[in-house]
Each structure stands twice: as structure tokens, then as C-alpha cells.
């Protein structure tokens, strides 16, 4: 892995650049005041004078790059106190280091490691700037905020002022009890507010004690893998399906069994026809990821019947069901279940904002304790401050209001993409589904490969998810998942024009 900011490193290898660029680089770092006594292991009775020991320790720490050019060192008085020695030997050591040029004194602002030290004196690895960052790494993070980044809500329409006011209020009032360890299952009042929301808006059958607060839907999926799946188990997934789920579900050694989806969602007949035992099936019934179908009532009932008959678990990922543009939202599959075989998971990343890192699991009664224990073993609990803030945001009606506003906004943004695709991408791209959620599923026509298209898109300031990456088995279809949540109508129209131009210029089969 290379440095994603190499501030400190560049600073070491190029002091001129550092001086020019200012305060965020290493040599002119803000002095943080950390104690440095670990570098000066004073030993008495070994015949080496104290001033020599102090000199040796600091000299070595500077040469080793542990204390860096531009970094402030404590005053002689402070260091003497920390070392528990008189000030004289510290003064002696500092004098020598100043004389030799390792330290410099700045009037009124203290003593610093000299910035004039030649780089080849310092035992610090030279690192090439940026560029070498792995492509595999951080697929969500790269692509940044450019169109058609998927999974991105309209961040500039988030009621930031309301949110910040709640954050500030709770931060100022944070009690020791709220700073200490919290319940691994989540703050009781937040679990209660989430249960209210899910019952009311999603027809999920749950009490607060079945709700588990986790750090997003990826964490929820990993938790499902830990609790439900072991080495050699089979877990069925939609084909095509959500790649993030694929990687999470195999984390405890399970194997993926891809099951085709069609316009009614997962093919339950095909699932039932699998020879071996399937311990769990992962589905997105409200809005199939990536192709967009919503699972029919008949299929839902068949799936629940299958789970009961086969003693299997259904993992329902309701990742963006709040936004539906044609027909009315379907209730969650979990609410239709009478045999308590469904683990329901959701996230606030898409309905609020991704960096909140809060999601939830509604566990079947029989698994509640297992889920809670495993959640604790994973990373103990979620930060308390955001849980307090989110509770108020839900209970005070801000969340419901935000959802209502976003439904209209996303409808208009979706219509803009569809209009743009119709205008600029006819013949090269077919809209497969745009009924719900924050992305349009499209198919490439002809022999175009989505990987080739994406690299051309990246070069022109666009991005997308590749449909072909959503397949576990062979024969992937080629297409683009175009996120529209985070971009206004003008941006979207302009981006579809760029996309159309690019697609029409590509040789078929490029």
C-alpha cells in the first residue's frame, strides 16, 4: 500500500517543497507536545555521564527519524522534570545538539529539530509520492463524488444545520456514563426508535430487543456470516447480486451458490432444486441489487415456505427500499414471515449519509443472543454520540421529513437521467430498470464490455459500477449501474451527454 497522503514523507525528501506548501507538511508540523522520555533510557551507575546519555538518546531518535525535522522538543526544564534529573545534564546535551546543528533554537518559541538536516543523514525510507495506491483498495472511496457514483445520497440536501445542532447539543452534554462502554446491542432508546420506524414505515415485525445497532450494512453482513455460516456451508445469493455481500458472506468460510433472478426477483424453484443443503439465502427483495426487480408476492411466500421446510435462514437486505418511483412500496419480506426465519438488515448510509456508519440488524428471536455476543466480539459497540443524535433525529420527526423531501428530489433526478439516456445514449445503452433506489440499471448493447467503458468514463471524470462485477458464476451480462442520488439534474444531463458521446465513439468490441 502506498501513502494516500504522503505529507510527512514528501516533507522529509523535499524540504523546499515543504516550506513552500506550508503547515500541513512534516517539517513545519504543529508541535503536539508529546513526551519524549522513551528515547532517553537513563541508566545510573553504568559510568556514562547523564548528559552523554541524554545526548545519545536524542541524537539516535533524530537519526532514526522518530523525532523529525521541524518537530519541537521539550524545554530543558520540562525534559529534566520528565526524566527526574537535574536541569544541568539536559542543558549540556541540548548545547551539544545545538552546536552540532541537530537542534535549533527559535527565540520565544522553543527548541526544534533542525530543518536543515540532510536527508541522507536520516534513516527514513524514501517513499514515492501517491500514484502506487492499489486499484483493488477502497472501491467505494475512489470515484469520489463524480457522476454516476452509486450509493451516494444527495449530501447537499441533508439538513446539516439541524444535525449539527443535535451533535453539538449532545457533545456538550455528554455524561461519563455516555463516554464509558455502551451496550453492544446499541443504545436502548435508539433501538426503540429504529423498531418504531421499521414497524411503521416498512411493516417489519420487531420489538426494540430484536434490533441490533451495527456500524453499517457491511458490518451487518459480516455479522450474519459469523452467526449463520461456517466453513463449507452453502449460502445462496442472487445472480447477479451485490458484490459487497459476496465478500462478506464468504468471510467465515462459506461457499456462494448463485441463483438466477428475473423480473420477479430470485428464482425460488431454482433455489429449491439445489442438491446440497443451503444454510442461508441472501436477497434484496424490495429492490434487487443490481437489476432493480421487486420480488413478487408469490415468490416471497414461496421463499418463506422454502426456508421453513429446509430450516434455512433468509437474509433480507433492505438497503434502499425507501425510494420507490413506480407503484407503492412493498412491505418488507420479514413482516410476511410467520416462521421467524428472516434476518432483516438495513443502513442509514443511503437515507442519511455514509460517514455516519450506523446500520441495524433485526434478528429472529432464536438468534438474538448469538447476534449480540458476536457483535460485541467484533468491535464491542458503536460510538455513543451518533447514537444519541440519531435517536433524536428519528424521534423528533426530522428523519421522516427528510425522507419525504428526498423522495421528490430523487424522482426528479431519476427522471433527468432517464431523459438524458434517452436523448444521448439511444442504441448503445438500454435502461433495464429505474423503478426504485438511487441507481439506474442499464445494459450495454452490441459487444461493448463494461470494463472498457468504465476506463474511458474515468478518463472523462465519470464513474459507475460494472454490472459484470455482480456475477459469481460465468457469463456475466455487460452493463453500467448509474447512480443519480448525489447529482443534480443539470449535472446528470451533462454526464449522460458525455457518456453518450464516449459510447458512440468507442469501436464496438473495443
Q: Which of residues 313-342 bind a copy of itself (CB under 8 A)?
A: 328-332, 335
Give which of 265, 319, 272 is closest to 295, Cα–Cα.
265
3-state secondary structure 188-215: HHHHHHHHHHHHHHHCCCCCHHHEEEEC
- The answer to whether 61 and 18 have CB atoms below 8 angstroms apart is no
Q: Which stretch binds a copy of itself (CB under 8 A): 114-122, 147-155, 431-439, 454-462?
A: 147-155
Residue 15 or 478 having the CB closest to a copy of itself: 15
Would you list the DSSP string of 266-303?
E-HHHHHT-SS---EEEE--SS-TTT-----HHHHHHH
Interface residue with a copy of itself among 34, 77, 88, 411 (CB under 8 A) is 34
Give which of 465, 460, 452 is closest to 501, Cα–Cα.
460
Residue 94 or 424 having the CB closest to a copy of itself: 94
Min CB(432)–a copy of itself separation in Å: 25
Site residues (CB under 8 A) for a copy of itself, limited to 66-85: 66-68, 71, 83
CA angle 43, 49, 54 (to 5 degrees): 70
Interface residue with a copy of itself among 39, 59, 287, 439 (CB under 8 A) is 39
Min CB(157)–a copy of itself separation in Å: 10
Interface residue with a copy of itself among 55, 112, 323, 399 (CB under 8 A) is 399
Residues 6 or more apart whose CB falls under 8 angstroms from that of 455 comprise none
Binding mask 93-112 for a copy of itself (x = CB under 8 A): --------------------
Q: Report the 10 Å Cβ neighbour count for 420.
A: 22
Min CB(367)–a copy of itself separation in Å: 9
Grid coordinates representing 339?
Answer: 416462521
Residue 465 is a binding residue for a copy of itself (CB under 8 A): no
Grid coordinates representing 78?
Answer: 520540562
Give which of 226, 302, 314 is closest to 278, Cα–Cα.
314
Query: Coil, helix or strand for 236?
Result: strand
Q: Which stretch binds a copy of itself (CB under 8 A): 121-129, 261-269, 308-316, 421-429?
A: 121-129
Interface residue with a copy of itself among 4, 311, 504, 510 (CB under 8 A) is 4
Site residues (CB under 8 A) for a copy of itself, limited to 155-184: 155-156, 158, 160-161, 163-164, 167-168, 171-172, 174, 176-184
Min CB(90)–a copy of itself separation in Å: 15
Q: Report the 10 Å Cβ neighbour count for 499.
A: 28
Residue 86 is a binding residue for a copy of itself (CB under 8 A): no
Min CB(175)–a copy of itself separation in Å: 8
Residue 1 or 116 having the CB closest to a copy of itself: 1
Residue 135 or 475 having the CB closest to a copy of itself: 135
Min CB(237)–a copy of itself separation in Å: 16
Grid coordinates representing 482?
Answer: 448509474
Interface residue with a copy of itself among 98, 122, 400, 458 (CB under 8 A) is 400
Q: Which stretch binds a copy of itself (CB under 8 A): 91-99, 257-265, 379-387, 461-469?
A: 379-387
Residue labelled with grid coordinates 418463506 = 304
Interface residue with a copy of itself among 234, 296, 395, 445 (CB under 8 A) is 395
Residue 397 or 474 having the CB closest to a copy of itself: 397
Query: Coil, helix or strand for 139?
Result: coil
Residues 6 or more apart whose CB falls under 8 angstroms from that of 137 comprise 1
d(CA 233, CA 281): 11
Q: Which stretch binds a copy of itself (CB under 8 A): 186-194, 310-318, 452-460, 494-502?
A: 186-194
Query: Coil, helix or strand for 360?
Result: strand
Residue 121 is a binding residue for a copy of itself (CB under 8 A): no
Using alpha carbons, list the distances in angstroms from residue 266 to 270, 288, 373, 389: 9, 9, 31, 37
d(CA 462, CA 486): 13
Interface residue with a copy of itself among 63, 98, 201, 409 (CB under 8 A) is 201
* Bond into 240 cis (ω within 30): yes
What number of chain residues touch a copy of itself (CB under 8 A)?
132
Interface residue with a copy of itself among 117, 193, 343, 438 (CB under 8 A) is 193
Residue 201 or 418 having the CB closest to a copy of itself: 201
Residues 6 or more apart whose CB falls under 8 angstroms from that of 247 comprise none
Grid coordinates representing 212?
Answer: 441490533
Binding mask 225-264 for a copy of itself (x = CB under 8 A): -x----x---------------xx--x-x-----------
Amino acid at each position: 500500500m502506498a501513502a494516500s497522503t504522503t505529507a510527512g514523507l514528501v516533507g522529509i525528501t523535499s524540504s523546499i517543497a515543504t516550506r513552500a506548501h506550508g503547515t500541513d507538511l512534516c517539517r513545519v508540523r504543529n508541535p503536539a507536545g508529546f513526551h519524549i522520555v522513551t528515547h532517553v533510557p537513563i541508566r545510573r551507575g553504568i559510568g556514562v555521564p547523564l548528559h552523554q546519555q541524554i545526548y545519545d538518546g536524542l541524537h539516535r531518535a533524530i537519526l532514526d527519524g522518530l523525532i523529525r525535522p521541524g518537530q519541537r522538543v521539550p524545554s530543558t526544564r520540562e525534559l529534566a522534570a520528565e526524566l527526574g534529573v537535574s536541569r544541568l545534564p539536559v542543558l549540556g546535551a541540548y548545547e551539544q545538539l545545538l552546536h552540532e546543528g541537530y537542534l535549533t533554537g527559535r527565540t520565544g518559541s522553543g527548541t526544534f529539530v533542525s530543518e536543515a538536516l540532510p536527508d541522507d543523514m536520516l534513516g527514513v525510507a524514501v517513499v514515492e509520492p501517491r500514484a502506487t495506491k492499489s486499484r483493488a483498495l477502497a472501491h467505494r472511496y475512489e470515484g469520489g463524488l463524480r457522476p454516476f457514483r452509486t450509493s451516494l445520497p444527495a449530501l447537499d440536501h441533508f439538513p446539516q444545520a439541524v444535525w449539527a445542532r443535535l451533535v453539538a447539543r449532545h457533545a456538550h452534554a455528554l455524561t461519563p456514563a455516555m463516554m464509558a462502554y455502551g451496550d453492544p446491542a446499541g443504545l436502548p432508546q435508539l433501538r426503540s426508535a429504529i423498531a418504531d420506524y421499521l414497524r411503521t414505515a416498512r411493516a417489519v415485525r420487531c420489538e426494540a430487543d430484536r434490533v441490533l445497532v451495527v456500524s453499517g450494512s457491511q458490518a451487518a453482513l459480516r455479522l450474519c456470516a459469523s452467526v449463520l455460516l461456517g466453513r463449507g456451508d452453502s449460502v445462496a445469493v442472487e445472480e447477479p447480486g451485490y458484490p459487497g455481500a459476496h465478500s462478506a458472506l464468504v468471510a467465515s468460510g462459506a461457499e456462494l451458490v448463485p441463483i438466477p433472478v428475473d423480473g420477479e426477483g430470485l428464482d425460488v424453484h431454482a433455489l429449491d432444486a439445489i442438491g446440497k443443503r443451503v444454510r442461508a439465502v441472501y436477497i434484496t427483495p424490495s429492490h434487487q441489487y443490481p437489476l432493480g426487480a421487486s420480488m413478487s408476492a408469490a415468490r416471497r411466500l414461496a421463499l418463506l415456505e422454502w426456508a421453513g421446510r429446509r430450516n434455512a435462514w433468509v437474509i433480507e437486505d433492505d438497503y434502499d427500499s425507501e425510494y420507490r418511483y413506480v407503484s407503492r412500496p412493498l412491505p418488507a419480506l420479514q413482516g410476511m414471515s410467520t416462521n421467524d426465519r428472516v434476518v432483516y438488515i438495513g443502513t442509514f448510509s443511503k437515507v442519511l449519509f455514509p460517514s455516519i456508519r450506523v446500520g441495524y440488524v433485526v434478528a429472529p428471536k432464536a438468534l438474538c443472543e448469538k447476534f449480540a455476543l458476536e457483535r460485541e466480539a467484533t468491535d464491542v459497540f458503536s460510538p455513543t454520540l451518533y447514537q444519541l443524535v440519531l435517536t433524536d433525529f428519528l424521534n423528533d420527526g426530522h428523519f421522516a421529513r427528510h425522507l419525504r423531501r428526498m423522495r421528490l428530489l430523487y424522482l426528479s433526478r431519476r427522471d433527468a437521467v432517464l431523459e438524458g439516456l434517452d436523448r444521448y445514449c439511444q442504441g448503445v445503452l438500454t435502461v433495464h430498470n429505474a423503478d426504485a433506489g438511487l441507481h439506474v440499471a442499464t445494459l450495454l448493447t452490441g459487444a461493448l464490455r463494461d470494463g472498457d467503458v468504465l476506463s474511458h468514463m474515468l478518463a472523462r471524470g465519470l464513474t459507475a459500477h460494472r454490472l459484470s462485477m455482480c456475477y459469481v458464476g460465468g457469463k456475466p451480462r455487460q452493463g453500467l449501474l448509474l447512480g443519480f442520488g448525489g447529482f443534480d439534474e443539470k449535472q446528470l444531463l451533462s454526464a449522460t451527454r458525455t457518456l453518450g458521446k464516449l459510447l458512440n465513439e468507442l469501436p464496438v468490441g473495443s
